[in-house]
Amino acid sequence: MSERTVFLHDIPLERARERFDEALLQAGVCNEATETLALDDALDRVTARPVIARLSSPHYHACAMDGIAVVAARTAGALETAPLELAPHEAPVVDTGDPLPDGFDAVIPIERVEPRANGYVAIRAAAAPFEHVRAIGEDVVASEVVVPAMRRLGAADLAACAAAGVASVEVVRKPRVAVITTGDELVDVTAEAPPPGAILDSNAVLLRACVRTYGGDVALALRVRDEEEALAGAVRAALAVSDVVVVNAGSSAGRDDYTARIFARFGEVLVHGVAIRPGHPLVLAVARPATASQKAVPLLGIPGYPVSAAICADLFLRPLLERLGRRDSPEARELDVELARKLYSPLGEDEYVRAVAARVGGRLVATPLRRGAGVITSLSRANVLLTIPRFSEGARAGTRVTARALRPLAQIERTLLAVGSHDVALDLLAGRLAADEIDLVSAHVGSIAGLVALRERAAHLAGTHVLDPQTGTYNDAAVRRYGPREPVALVRLARREQGLLVAPGNPLGIRSLADVARTHARYVNRQPDAGTRILLDALLARAALAPDAIAGYERIEFSHLAVGQLVANGSADTGLAIRAAAHAFGLEFVSVAWEPYDLALPAAALEEPRIARVIELLHEPALRAEIKALGGYDCAEAGEVRVVVPEAAAAR
């Protein structure tokens, strides 16, 4: 009589999960393997590293409307009551998507153009510079992160990669799973007339489909007889080629149920019996590495009854494969979110606005991303889609609106939202946090707007580098003026070098802002709330230069990389930005200042686990080295924390 297997324990479901998870963690079970795939093969795969734009999108100034190209300055004075006529050479006809002709800087839609005799046209309104033009890098700038690490790639992500000139991506290799079904009674599902006692091996089909559904690859599929050594040999073969081994049937206490005993040969049996019905004769184990070059492998003995097999696969195999494959369970659902800032919308149209939602102070807050039919990266970056009804004309800040989740709810809940100044080092920090399943998302709105968002409890962090011209110090005064009315912690990201970006060889000989004014260099500025704009204004005042002495003072971009892109392609002669932007585009750099870049947050949030992890990472030499390699960064103070107490809080 063969030896029977008995249940070790019939333990609660949560305890079984905890015991299995703890053992996997202690054994170092993980999946670090990657592979590179063409975009057409990468749908639904998980990025192993951030995807960096090879080209800007668009990579030329593109006409955004059918109409005529014009020089905006030439259209000044055109009125409804006093139309302005333009000669054919002043108004070449263009179509949507055409390159903007050289020497022209705006497009007037064809419906606003009146044909006149001899090829002349008339217009009744002036055009603004770059009106109806998609500027270089409007969607994404070369060297910018298009898709972050640990992102499950959707159609919009792949399109964003393609638009940025990226043809292949490095992804996490799917976990390799061996599926072994056991039983003398099993026959292939193709059997035409199975005899009595024969059972079609439907569980093999079920489990292989589950593996693929949960993001794994079937590395080995075997069916073996109810013989202990045959099953042991199959498990041994599976361990050599798989990240996970699943044995179906043989997990109960029948005379031919060997699974638990065989698992014990290769490692430690953690669970044999779970207090669930159906599915209680489940076996969970971890196989020890046979050699130093091998790794620990999870072993699952799943009951043979089909319903039990399906339930156990969902409860235990799904989360295991999703963790090894860095995937989240999809949850399609509608959410009720609070709008972080006022949103305008045209009357008479339902509008769907891409946004990033995060839970801040117990509220699910949504921050809209850049809008525009050509800005596909906003769809890639969004985790919710807001619906603005057609007769609302938008919504005020604080209004609750309906949103459709584009990412799993668990991912939205763990999103860490940074609003404020742009810095490329944040992308490196985000990549490190992604490995901890923390999604750091940044919205580039400028330092002051970020502090206001922090005050309104619409962000977790605010990137800031605001100079106080009166004292020459950074951030304290701005925090007291614009930030929360409670103690604010400033976490040092780095000190960084700001300067003027110029073309290789510095053809205009620019060494200062005085040179920018003297040479009438085409300058590209930052938005009014940006710390870089505040620094520029302080430097102009120090040099006794008026803003209108700078040609292009009113021309704005929203990131350092966008400024660098325009200088690199010749659309501008210079602009103030960090040295890393010069490195990214092969530009020369005229240093003007070193400044601290801090992450502001409520001091009460310092003990929150995600914030604690941010501070911990900023102290790690590996991340500091990555940031320094960008150029123009000093990380000696990275991770240091100081607290600013507003006057109102101090008075209390």
Full-model pTM: 0.74
CATH of domain 334-443: 2.40.340.10
Query: What is the predicted pLDDT for the residue at 314?
Result: 87
CATH of 36-56+138-171, one of 1.10.3720.10, 3.90.105.10, 3.40.1280.10, 3.90.1150.10: 3.90.105.10
Looking at the predicted structure, is the pLDDT value of residue 6 above 50?
Answer: no
Query: What is the predicted pLDDT for the residue at 10?
Result: 76
Top pLDDT among 35 and 289 is at: 35
Arithmetic mean of pLDDT, 232-240: 95
Residue 311 pLDDT level (bands cut at 50, 70, 90): confident
Q: Specify whether domain 13-32+174-324 bears CATH 3.40.980.10.
A: yes
The CA radius of gyration of the chain, in Å to the nearest whole number, is 31
3-state secondary structure of 186: strand
Helices (H), 48-200: 155-163
Q: What whole-number distance in Å separates Cα of residue 283 and Cα of residue 442?
A: 44
Residue 335 near residue 404, CB atoms below 8 Å: yes
CATH of 464-651, one of 3.40.50.2000, 3.40.190.10, 3.40.309.10, 3.40.50.300: 3.40.190.10
Can you read off the two tokens belonging to residue 238? 């599976």
Parts of the chain belonging to CATH 3.40.980.10: 13-32+174-324
Arithmetic mean of pLDDT, 167-193: 91
DSSP element (H, E) containing 171: strand 168-172
Residue 5 pLDDT level (bands cut at 50, 70, 90): very low
Query: What is the predicted pLDDT for the residue at 250?
Result: 59
Query: What is the predicted pLDDT for the residue at 349?
Result: 60
Query: What is the predicted pLDDT for the residue at 258?
Result: 84
Of 210, 418, 468, 416, give the one whose Cα is nearest residue 316: 210
Query: What is the predicted pLDDT for the residue at 14?
Result: 87
Residue 2 pLDDT level (bands cut at 50, 70, 90): very low
Residue 651 pLDDT level (bands cut at 50, 70, 90): very low
First to last CA, the chain: 82
Looking at the predicted structure, is the pLDDT value of residue 536 above 90?
Answer: yes
Residue 63 near residue 179, CB atoms below 8 Å: no
Arithmetic mean of pLDDT, 262-275: 92
Arithmetic mean of pLDDT, 48-61: 94
Q: What whole-number distance in Å separates Cα of residue 163 and Cα of residue 151?
A: 18
Q: What whole-number distance in Å separates Cα of residue 104 and Cα of residue 70?
A: 5
Query: What is the predicted pLDDT for the residue at 345?
Result: 75
3-state secondary structure of 85: strand
Residue 113 near residue 68, CB atoms below 8 Å: yes
Parts of the chain belonging to CATH 2.40.340.10: 334-443
CATH of 62-134, one of 3.40.50.300, 3.60.70.12, 2.170.190.11, 3.40.50.620: 2.170.190.11
652 alpha carbon, distance to own chain's centre: 40
Query: What is the predicted pLDDT for the residue at 380?
Result: 75
Parts of the chain belonging to CATH 3.90.105.10: 36-56+138-171
Top pLDDT among 289 and 390 is at: 289
Strands 575-578 and 488-502: antiparallel
Q: What is the pLDDT of residues 329-374, one digit of tens each?
A: 765 588 999 998 888 876 656 677 888 999 998 999 998 887 654 4
Q: What is the pLDDT of residues 120-167, one digit of tens each?
A: 999 999 999 999 999 999 888 999 999 999 999 999 999 999 999 999
Residue 631 pLDDT level (bands cut at 50, 70, 90): very high
Of 52, 53, 56, give the one whose Cα is nearest residue 566: 56
Of 43, 10, 54, give the one whose Cα is nearest residue 585: 54
Parts of the chain belonging to CATH 2.170.190.11: 62-134
